[in-house]
Copies of this chain bind each other. A is one copy, B any other.
Amino acid sequence: MKKKIIVLGTGFAAFRFLKKIDISKYEVIVVSPRNHFLFTPLLPSTTVGTIEFRSIIEPIRNIDNITFYQSYCTEIDKANNKIICIDTDTGTRFELGFDYLVIAVGEVTNTFNVEGVGKYALFLKELSDARKIRTKVVECFENAYLPGISEEKRKQFLRFVVCGGGPTGVEFAAELNDFIEDDVKKKYPEISKDVEIILVESRNKLLATFDEKLSEYTMKVFQRQNINLLMNTYITSLDENKIFLSNGDTIDYGLLVWATGNTSTELVKESGFELNKQGKIITDSFFRVKNSQNIFAIGDCAGIENKNLPATAQVAQQQGVYLAKFFNDGLNQTNEFEFKSLGMLAYIGDSKALADTSQYKGTGFKTFILWRSAYLTKLVSLKNKVLVIFDWVKTFLFGRDISSF
């Protein structure tokens, strides 16, 4: 009988693992609350409709011959080699036994326990987050347009705050700015002058993981685009209307997107596995969880002991592929995992992008074309590629849709 692998998660690490695992050798069961893979690098583009939501997802059930259960795993019973799942929708509780467990549950947005974030800020991690942002952005414009609104209130509705100067925060600010330049100025001409985008970053630079020059270039481009940068500043708390800053100032805001990085899920926190300082499950170089024989962890939720890899899609993908090969080859001692960096890309608005690779460091429109081509290549299905190209053409020809529903 085939050995049974349970995979927790449907992100980059899990998806690549599932695409590569040899189902003639293993029975594979996937458990995740999300029934699709999401191509997160293009998620910021969906918040304003440059790309549509369904263009960057792929149902897990499209992978042949695996079993998928849409449910949360709430507990890992290491002693008995089983997991316990509770489906939040139906309340169904069930257990699944495994021979091997692959934990690839990723992380959740870190609120740093800042008061009000969970209640009033929007995140940008799942498609449902992007949809909330898209709805809220249009609502802000519609509200600001109402005749009964004071000037002060109107300006508040049109003050968009982004917390976090990493790739997610920067790309969202860039997309929002494109939306305002390309669409809002046409559709809401009377109020477009009152729009303000503010980016709050606790350090003194944006995109800190990028080359120094590219980081500086981004700050210059943002300043030219009238994105207000509040550097060396952080948010201490917020309520429904006001953001309180570390420098004592307050901001009356219409929308706050919180993109300050991630932290462990409850499952990982309470797993009983040894975690590193970042709260990631410690594994060896073959992704075997410390002090465990048949449990593996890959992607953002895992950290190889004494090795520090960035928590990116690229790393997660390569780990998924590596681990699948390791399984397919019978779990025999082999070469340790080695991350091959393909470099980093980021979109910074106005048809400009950054590339930071070993061969090429570039900016501007040419790099924007590279950015689009690279992600197009990386999309996981022909359908995704066709849809994303179509969306880009559609946005170019017809603009972004401001309908709200």
Contacts and interface: CB of A to CB of B under 8 A. Distances in A.
A146 B390 contact: no
A187 interface: yes
A196 B127 CA distance: 30
Nearest to A186: B61
A383 B394 contact: yes
Given A52-B52, A54-B52, A383-B398, A59 B403 contact: yes
A402 B273 CA distance: 35
Contacts of A139: 89
Contact of A71 (B131, B138, B146): B146
Nearest to A92: B148
A385 to B, nearest CB: 11
B394 A94 contact: no
Nearest to A129: B405
Q: From DSSP, what is the main secondary structure of chain A's interface residues? A: mixed
Nearest to A402: B59
A142 B403 contact: no
A93 interface: yes
Nearest first, the 6 closest Cβ-Cβ pairs linking A and B are A94-B148, A36-B403, A70-B142, A127-B405, A92-B148, A383-B398
Interface string A38-65: 0000000000010011100111011000
A244 B401 CA distance: 42
A178 interface: no
B383 A146 contact: no
A187 B70 CA distance: 13
B146 A92 contact: yes
A34 B405 contact: yes
A403 B35 contact: yes
By size class, the interface of chain A is: 35 or more
Interface in A190-247: none
A143 interface: yes
Residue with the greatest number of chain B CB neighbours at <10 A, chosen from A62, A89, A401: A401
A387 interface: yes
Nearest to A94: B148
Interface string A369-405: 0000000000000110011001000100110011111
B405 A70 contact: no
A132 to B, nearest CB: 11
Contacts of A131: 405
Contacts of A59: 187, 401-403
A212 B292 CA distance: 71
11 contacts: A36-B403, A57-B401, A59-B402, A61-B188, A90-B149, A92-B148, A92-B149, A94-B146, A126-B405, A128-B405, A382-B398
A35 B138 contact: yes
A97 to B, nearest CB: 11
